[in-house]
A and B are shown apart, each in its own frame.
Chain A
Amino acid sequence: MKVTFKIWRQDSPDSKGELKTYETDGLTEDMSFLEALDHLNEKLVLKNEKVVAFEYDCREGICGQCGVFINGRAHGPHDHMTTCQLHMRSFKDGDTITVEPWQAGAFPIVKDLVVDRTAFDRIVEQGAYITAKTGTAPEANSIPVPKEVSDAAMDMAACIGCGACVATCKNASAALFTSAKINHLNKLPQGKAEQHTRLLDMTKQMEVEGFGSCTFTAACEVECPAEISISSIAEMNARYVKAKIFG
Chain B
Amino acid sequence: MNYTVVKNNQRISVNSIPVVKYEDFMDTIVSGLMQDKNNHCANYFGYHYESKIKLVCCIADDANHCIYILSSVVDQNIILPSFTAHNLSFEKFEREIHENFGVDYSDHPWLKPVRYPFNANDKSKTIANYPFYQIESEELHEVGVGPIHAGVIEPGHFRFICNGEQILHLEIQLGYQHRGIEQLFLEKKSLLQKTTLAENIAGDTVIGHTSTFAKLWENLCGYTTTPELEFARTLALEHERIAIHTGDLSAICTDIAYQLGSSVFGRLRTPVINYFQQWGGNRLAKGLIRPGKTNFPFTKELANKWYDVFNAYEPDFTEMVKELFDLPSALARLEKTGVVSTEVAESIGIVGMAARASGVNRDIRLSHADGLYEKLNHKPIVKLHGDVFSRALIRKEEIFQSIEYIKQLLKDIPENLKYETNLNTPEPGSFVISLTEGWRGEICHCAITDYKGELIMYKIKDTSFHNWLALALSVRNNEISDFPICNKSFNLSYCGHDL
Q: Do A and B bind each other?
A: no
